[in-house]
Chains A and B, each alone.
Chain A
């Protein structure tokens, strides 16, 4: 337990999961945001995860953390709804709703929070082991 690499790994995971949780919050918060045109309607945002390649190639550090490569907007079509009396309706009488699937987002949220918990557990276990190692011979 010399270079505390495991803290970096678990920390990167917690960071990635919190980004994911933030995006879920943003998606659910905007699930009912209607818009008057296809260009301005809110689109579901999803994180892209990838493992850190530089660590994978380093033999002294066998573990690899997780990277958030970026955030992509979902390509699913937005929902057009005919509502001619809506104040935001366009000239054909349509309003546009975001392509957020609330059920999917809820499942995503559970998955993210469980993964976060997993990483916290790893961190706690590693901390315990290091503290015990520091007390070696006492």
Chain B
């Protein structure tokens, strides 16, 4: 019997990486709250799930070859998650779509979810350790 970390930790290791990237995106939204024309962005987690689905249309997984510079780029992906633009509740006059309260709520939510994933990993590791010790 061999211990496979991927199997032991499940999806949480990937989730952790994705949460980290999302925290970066949300942080850059907050940082650019005063930048004229900046559009708030977010990672779409459900696009990762769709990509891992066995059947159905899988548009986000297609890799289109771009032979000319004026060819349209495929959707921007980060670790398999699609980068999306936020729809503002109240758009501001300078074209900035960052709403600090929304971004802060999302950031806090993401931090808690990061901690949740971390706890799952920690518990799995504790279980592995217990199994190894055989106490």
Contacts and interface: CB of A to CB of B under 8 A. Distances in A.
Interface residues of A, number: 39
Given A49-B35, A51-B38, A125-B107, A64 B28 contact: yes
Interface residues of B, number: 35
Interface in A85-101: none
B23 A126 contact: yes
Interface in B72-118: 76-78, 83, 100, 104, 107-108, 111, 114-115, 118
A20 B31 CA distance: 13
Nearest to B16: A133
A136 interface: yes
Interface string B27-43: 11011111110100101
B121 A136 contact: yes
Interface in B115-132: 115, 118, 121-122, 125-126, 129
A129 interface: yes
A63 interface: yes
A10 interface: yes
Given A132-B115, A132-B118, A63 B35 contact: no
A137 B125 contact: yes
Interface of B: 16, 20-21, 23-25, 27-28, 30-36, 38, 41, 43, 76-78, 83, 100, 104, 107-108, 111, 114-115, 118, 121-122, 125-126, 129
